[in-house]
Structure 1
Amino acid sequence: MYIAVSSWSLRDHVNKDFSLPQMAGFVKDRYGVNAVELCSMHFRNTDSAYLDEIKRELQEAQASVVNMPVDTGNISNREERKRNFDLKVIKLWMDIAAYIGSPSIRVNTGMQEPPYDLSITAASYKELADYGEKVGVKVLLENHGGLSADPNNIVGLFEQVNSPYFRSCPDFGNFAPDIRYEGLQKIAKYADIAHAKTYDFDENGEVAEFDFKKCLDILKESGFDGCLSVEFEGRGDQYEGVRRTIELIKKYW
């Protein structure tokens, strides 16, 4: 297991206190962590000069980017023209990931009006996974609302796509509370990385809203030994939230 820090955890500070390219150096200096997850929303540009700056800062920090969460498009759209346009945009982000050395991007399932037709979503992920095989970038599915709010939909998609370039990114916080642990158990076996999500902490330094240790245990029991990306989403100080999350991971892993 190794730890990364997501730019989402420091959303109020990235591109203010430090630029996105500088984040790897900042995280390594402050937390001793040499891996970052760079959200597409925090990219100020996507031309080669900006991407070269990211690569240079990563190299200088002796750090790596583990994943790029991409929040664009609806790959489940029933309208083929709109869906295909969104897939082209996502493929551009896959090219960006390949350029800066990210091994994966996270692509949301999107949403349909029920009754759902998962075959549309599966075909989209299959197309992206096939493209990912060409450029060396995996496509990750996170439990992130929409169709992915139901873990059974996620399992169904993995069964249909059946590609080593299509993996999951379990998020500790995103399933509804009544299915959180069951949902994580169902999707953990497909995991490539995981989002170690935290919210605000109680007086004992634990996550107040759910059992963080139980989430880690589910991953360990599945055989997962990859990257845990810190996603602090609390209302408190984000610098402190990242620190406390790292401490919890080290305490329980």
Structure 2
Amino acid sequence: MRMKLAFSTLGVPGLPIQDVVRLAATHGYHGVELRAHPEEPVHPGIGAAQRAEVADEFRGAGIEILAVAGYARVAAPGDDGPVLAQVRALLDLAHDVGAPYIRVFPGGGTEQRPEAADANAVRRLGAAAEYAAELGVRILLETHDSHRTGADAARVLGAVGDRHVGALWDVMHTWLGREQPQESYTALAPYLGYVQVKDIASADDTTPLPLGAGVLPLTECVDILSRHGWDGWLCWEYEKRWYERAAPLPELLGPGRRHLARLLNESA
């Protein structure tokens, strides 16, 4: 059993795809999570030719595109139409570049009751699942914002009940939600697509740190995954885009890859 390792382009905002691929290959990562935002090289607004070029660039280097990380908020208040259009555009992009997953946020907000946020997410994810199945892409709901714990996400995913809709476990958000790693894994295991790892100084200071330099229970998370025979992806999401003073990611990729390798060896 061996997990695959990836990093998110959130850590290298705006970097050309050729350079992203080079960083992944140089430092021994198996894949890359592509942040799908208009300020990035890959987003739903690019055309067919650009999508084909992106797929060819990754394929030629033997690097996988893990996911298209979008910003659709499936639990948000409002009409379903615009949200579903966002999700479908992300699914089209993922299909065209060869990514097996898209990432969506809950985004339930504070202006509606939790039950209403859940109902929005269940209805929209259920509606999008058929299109996801047609394209062979899986929608992953990230543990984030209004649904930051595994229990929160599982409550929605269990109600959707479709294998083309799953979970993205962001270990920072479940930890901030005061959920223990074993509790998170137990809740998310039936739906788990992949796991986002990161590190921070404290609950009050979420500035990204090199892996292993902060307080997040990465060793425990990897150990739990290993003990259960999970052989999916660990993706390092280093949130440089939101923290300008954070150290540049490229110089951390090598040490980060080695740290994850040590965790995997210790858990083997």
Question: Do both proteins adopt the same fold according to a TM-score greater than 0.5, normalized to the shorter chain?
Answer: yes
Contact 2:74 2:124 in 1 (8 A): yes
**Deviations 1:58-106 (Å, cap 9, x if unpaired)?**
122122211111013x322343xx3212211220110111011111101
Which position in structure 1 is the counterpart of 2:239?
233
- Matching residue of 1:36: 32
- Provide the residue aligned with 2:217 in structure 1: 211
2:84 is matched with 87
Where does residue 49 of structure 1 map in the other structure?
49
Aligned residue pairs, count: 240
Separation (CA, whole Å) in 1 of partners of 2:34 and 2:194: 14
Matched, 1:221 2:227: yes
Q: Deviations over 1:182-240 (max 9, x none)?
A: 33442244211111223324xxx723122210121222234321111121237223123
State the TM-score, normalized to the length of structure 1. 0.86
| 3-state secondary structure, aligned to 2:141 | strand
Aligned counterparts, 1:107-126, within 5 A = 107-112=104-109, 113-117=112-116, 118-126=118-126
Contact 2:31 2:64 in 1 (8 A): yes
For residues 162 and 115 of structure 1, the distance between their equivalents in structure 2, rounded to whole angstroms, comes to: 19
Q: Give the TM-score, by structure 2 length.
A: 0.81
Question: 2:209 aligns to what?
Answer: 200
8 Å CA contact 2:129–2:162 kept in 1: the answer is yes
Q: CA RMSD in A?
A: 2.1
Q: Deviations over 1:89-130 (max 9, x none)?
A: 220110111011111101111214224322221111111222
Q: Secondary structure at the match of 1:153?
A: helix
Structure 2 unaligned blocks of 5 or more? 200-207, 241-245
1:1-253 → structure 2 map (5 Å cutoff): 1-11=3-13, 14-15=14-15, 19-28=16-25, 30-41=26-37, 42=40, 43=42, 45-72=45-72, 74-79=73-78, 82-112=79-109, 113-117=112-116, 118-146=118-146, 148-175=147-174, 176=176, 178-181=178-181, 182-198=183-199, 199-201=208-210, 206-233=212-239, 235-253=246-264
- Structure 1 unaligned spans of 5+: none
Structure 1 115/100 Cα, relative in aligned 2: closer, same or farther at 3 Å? closer
Comparing 164-173 with 148-157, greater Cα deviation is found at: 148-157
